[in-house]
Amino acid sequence: MKKIEAIIQPFKLEDVKEALKNIGIDGMTISEVRGHGRQKGHREVYRGQEYNVDLLPKVKFELVVPDTRLDEVVETIGQAARSGKIGDGKIFVYDVAEAVRIRNNDRGEAAI
């Protein structure tokens, strides 16, 4: 099993959700986060006082998939989230040691 963590532009949220649904991925966790990579922030001015806002709002997807589906899912997320501009985000992949479905104690891939 692999965990995919994708940090994307907030306005791509619906596109990515829809694309994952189309390839049969139902389970995911989403959170609103802030961060930046190479993207520079923007300038805000309040009564002449300037603030450089470099931590920008992003959406983080977390989902766990069987090893066999990894490439397909990463490709799908990448395509759906891509606008081609700086700030599109990153995808990280981790090994997962175990999964448990709390309701009935299913283990491993059966639980995801």
Residues near another protein (CB under 8 A): 44-49, 51, 53
Closest to another protein by CB, 35 or 78 = 35
Residue closer to another protein (CB basis): 47 or 85: 47
Q: Least distance in Å: CB of 81 to another protein?
A: 28
The residue (of 49 and 105) whose beta carbon lies closer to another protein is 49
Contacts 24+ apart (CB under 8 A), 65-74: 65/1, 65/2, 65/4, 65/25, 65/112, 66/1, 66/2, 66/109, 66/112, 67/1, 67/2, 69/25, 70/2, 70/4, 72/23, 73/4, 73/20, 73/23, 73/25, 74/4
What's the closest the beta carbon of residue 42 comes to another protein, in angstroms? 11
